Amino acid sequence: MRILILASFLIVLVLFLTTQMPVILTAEQVSQSVSDAIAELQVAVDEDEMERAVQLSVAKLEHAQRNRLKYLASAYFIIWLVFMLYVLRLARHYYVLDKRLVQLEQASAHDEK
């Protein structure tokens, strides 16, 4: 039972980490791409100002996304945790009850003899 719970947690974690990874664009890549576009368009732009603006916007976007993923991960973790605690409690209860029943039935059979 414990292995099953651990496996389910690992599946959720792997799925979460592998499938929901955003396409990561670094500030440098965006900056380079914008510089190339400006060069192609042949317009006059302050390159330093532009780079600062790009870096700030990328940082803000990344921070917002990290924040959203934290909410998502916490919600699924709590759901998993509640189920895990309930199933563990059931498993323990089941084990104790089964043991007591066997003991009681054995004692009863012994008495009848």
Q: Can you give the binding site for another protein, defined by CB under 8 A?
A: 8, 11-12, 15-16, 19-20, 65, 68-69, 71-72, 74-76, 78-79, 82-83, 86, 90, 93-94, 97-98, 100-101, 104-105, 108
Name which of 59 and 78 has its Cβ closer to another protein.
78
- Cβ at position 50, least distance to another protein in Å: 26
- Cβ at position 26, least distance to another protein in Å: 20
How many C-beta neighbours within 10 Å does residue 54 have?
19
Residue 42 zone, left/alpha/beta (φ > 0; ψ -120 to 50; rest): left
Residue 3 CB burial class (10 angstroms; 0-12, 13-18, ≥19)? exposed
Position 8: which residue type?
S
Name which of 45 and 107 has its Cβ closer to another protein.
107
- Cβ at position 70, least distance to another protein in Å: 9
What the block records as the tokens of 95 is 């084990």
Name which of 10 and 39 has its Cβ closer to another protein.
10
Phi, psi dihedrals of residue 20, rounded to the nearest 5° = -105, 15
